[in-house]
């Protein structure tokens, strides 16, 4: 049995009730014991609360073992961990052994968890990487830019307050959308770390999510599309990418990561390999004369296969370039991905059939996901080319003064 506690220190501990547990005047340290699970305690030192457990005596000794910070562990999680420590005694195991091993082992910092996660996601499953290079590049941006202050912290000691501060700082410096993406990324990494046994909790859970102020069904109106098209500088990477997003209907990272080796100028075709598409299927995109004109007018850097950006990787300057564009184009909030939806909608408006639009967008849903998708193997290359040429002509017509 766990050591008996004073009656006034025993109560049913609840998540809501933690805020009411305060030190009496003159006190600096106090433990309240849970009435539901003997041995589990909530310890308050100053303003810092921690979960502790006092398992039954083992080897003639009874020790107070710290489970973790109260703002990182919920009551339910603390009870689960405490039960595990108490259960070790009934199995003849020392409940303090894990803590001794933890003290001897090198600290597992959040930075090391990041390294392990990116290494694991860089490995291939069959012929396709678990995460695309562009996704990993975006992940590393979040890790190195937004999470830098947390790298040296031991992963088990990262609290909800730490995450909340990081989100506030990111929102102030880079905007709420960047903070929202950073929050999702960090939560994904913590969930992975829990599955790998690196930590017990996800401190992102319970933090306030930055506002998602951009609808996922956003389609630019005719006037908005005209404004965006005409505001894009045609002689810079970002402007060319935006216009190709409109003309091809492909995904942002697919266009930004375009390789010259994927483009056949003579055949007016852009061949995306399976490792570069979201659904893992190869995709041949017909290039309209307008799209070809953009590519043919671009300078090429010797020994560099990437069409956009500089250095060894794809284009990475979206945030600043989009912010500059937004200062010029005064329309409701929008994302670059909305251009893909706008193109799909526009194709329908000029009379392109739905199944052809799905092939243009490389969607595996609706028509292509059903029985027809299993038995219908026609690639619609001719229909796709005609659709994108008609769309490019429509865009030219509405954007030319």
Contact 82, 67 (CB under 8 A): yes
Residues 294 and 383 in one domain: yes
Residue with tokens 């562009």: 134
Residue 352: CATH number of its domain: 1.10.443.10
Domain check: are 305 and 364 in the same one? yes
Range of the domain at 384: 222-399
Query: Does residue 122 lie in a domain region?
Result: yes
CATH of the domain at 157: 1.10.150
| 367 in the same domain as 245 | yes
Cα separation, 295 vs 260, in Å, equals: 9
Chain-centroid distance, C-alpha 396: 36
**Residue 39, in any domain of the structure:** yes
Count of structural domains within the chain: 3
pLDDT score at 54: 86
313-to-133, 221, 266, 332 alpha-carbon distances in Å: 9, 33, 26, 32
Q: Is residue 213 part of a domain?
A: no
pTM summary value: 0.55
DSSP state letter for 302: T
Co-location of 51 and 161 in the same domain: no
Instruction: Give kind and range of the element (H or E) at residue 264.
Output: strand 263-264
In a shared domain, residues 17 and 63: yes
Q: What b-and-e string marks burial along 115-147, b requiring 16 or more CB atoms within 10 Å of the CB?
A: ebbeeebeeeeeeeeebbebebebbebbbeebb
Residue 334 forms part of a structural domain: yes
For residue 65, the domain's CATH number is 3.30.160.390
One domain for residues 265 and 149: no
Same domain, 83 and 129: no
Boundary-marking domain end, from 104, 139, 155: 104
Q: Are 66 and 141 found together in one domain?
A: no
Q: Does 132 reside within a domain?
A: yes
| Cα gap 359→32, rounded to integer Å | 63
pLDDT along the chain (401 residues), means of 10: 59 91 92 92 91 73 80 87 83 64 65 88 62 73 82 89 90 80 90 89 89 71 96 92 98 94 97 89 96 94 89 84 92 93 96 95 66 55 96 96 81
Handedness of CA 313, 151, 203, 118 (dihedral sign): positive
CA 19, CA 314: separation in Å to the nearest integer? 49
User: 387 in a domain, yes or no?
Assistant: yes
Tokens of 48: 């810092």
Which of these three, 104, 139, 154, is where a domain ends? 104
Q: Looking at the structure, tell me whether residues 99 and 116 fall in a common domain.
A: no
CA 54 to centroid of chain Cα atoms: 39
Residue 361 falls inside a structural domain? yes
pLDDT of residue 354: 94
What DSSP letter does each residue of 13-66 carry, written as one string?
--TGGGGG--PPTT--EEEEEESSSTTEEEEEETTEEEEEE-PSPBTTB---EE
Tell whether 267 and 305 lie within a shared domain.
yes
Tokens 């794809």 map to which residue? 314
H helices of 257-380, where? Answer: 289-296, 318-328, 337-349, 354-361, 371-375
Q: Which helix (H) or strand (E) holds 284?
A: strand 283-286
In this prediction, residue 369 carries a pLDDT of: 47
- Looking at 179, 195, 211, which one is the last position of a domain? 195
303 and 253 in one domain?
A: yes
Residue 207 belongs to a domain: no
Query: How many residues comprise the chain?
Result: 401
Bridging pattern class, strands 263-264 and 124-125 = unpaired
Residues 76 and 164 in one domain: no
What distance in Å separates the CA atoms of residue 82 and residue 37, rounded to the nearest whole number? 8
Query: 178 in helix, strand or coil?
Result: helix
């Amino acid at each position: 049995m766990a050591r008996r506690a004073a009656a006034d220190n025993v109560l049913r501990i609840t998540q809501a009730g933690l805020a009411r547990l305060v030190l009496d005047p003159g006190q600096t340290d106090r433990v309240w014991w849970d009435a539901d699970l003997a041995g589990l305690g909530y310890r308050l030192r100053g303003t810092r609360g921690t979960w502790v457990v006092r398992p039954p005596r083992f080897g003639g000794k009874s020790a107070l073992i710290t489970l973790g910070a109260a703002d990182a562990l919920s009551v339910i999680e603390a009870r689960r961990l405490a039960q595990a420590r108490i259960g070790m005694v009934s199995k003849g195991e020392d409940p303090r052994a894990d803590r001794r091993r933890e003290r001897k082992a090198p600290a597992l910092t959040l930075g090391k968890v990041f390294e392990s996660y990116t290494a694991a996601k860089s490995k291939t499953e069959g012929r396709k990487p678990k995460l695309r290079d562009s996704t990993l590049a975006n992940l590393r941006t979040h890790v190195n830019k937004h999470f830098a202050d947390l790298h040296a912290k031991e992963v088990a000691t990262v609290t909800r307050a730490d995450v909340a501060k990081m989100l506030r700082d990111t929102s102030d410096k880079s905007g709420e959308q960047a903070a929202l993406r950073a929050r999702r990324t960090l939560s994904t990494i913590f969930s992975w770390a829990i599955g790998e046994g690196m930590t017990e909790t996800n401190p992102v859970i319970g933090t306030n999510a930055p506002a998602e102020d951009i609808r996922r069904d956003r389609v630019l109106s005719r006037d908005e599309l005209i404004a965006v098209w005409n505001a894009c500088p045609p002689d810079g990477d970002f402007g060319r990418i935006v216009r190709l997003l409109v003309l091809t209907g492909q995904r942002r990272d697919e266009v930004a990561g375009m390789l010259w080796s994927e483009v056949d100028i003579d055949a007016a075709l852009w061949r995306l390999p399976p490792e570069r598409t979201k659904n893992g299927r190869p995709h041949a995109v017909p290039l309209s004369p307008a799209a070809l004109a953009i590519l043919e007018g671009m300078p090429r850097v010797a020994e560099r296969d990437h069409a956009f950006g500089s250095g060894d990787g794809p284009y990475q300057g979206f945030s600043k370039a989009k912010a500059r564009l937004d200062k010029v184009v005064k329309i409701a909030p929008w994302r670059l991905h909305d251009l893909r939806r706008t193109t799909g909608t526009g194709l329908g408006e000029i009379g392109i059939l739905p199944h052809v639009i799905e092939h243009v967008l490389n969607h595996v849903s609706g028509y292509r996901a059903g029985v027809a998708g299993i038995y219908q193997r026609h690639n619609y290359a001719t229909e796709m080319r005609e659709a994108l040429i008609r769309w490019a002509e429509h865009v030219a017509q509405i954007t030319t003064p």
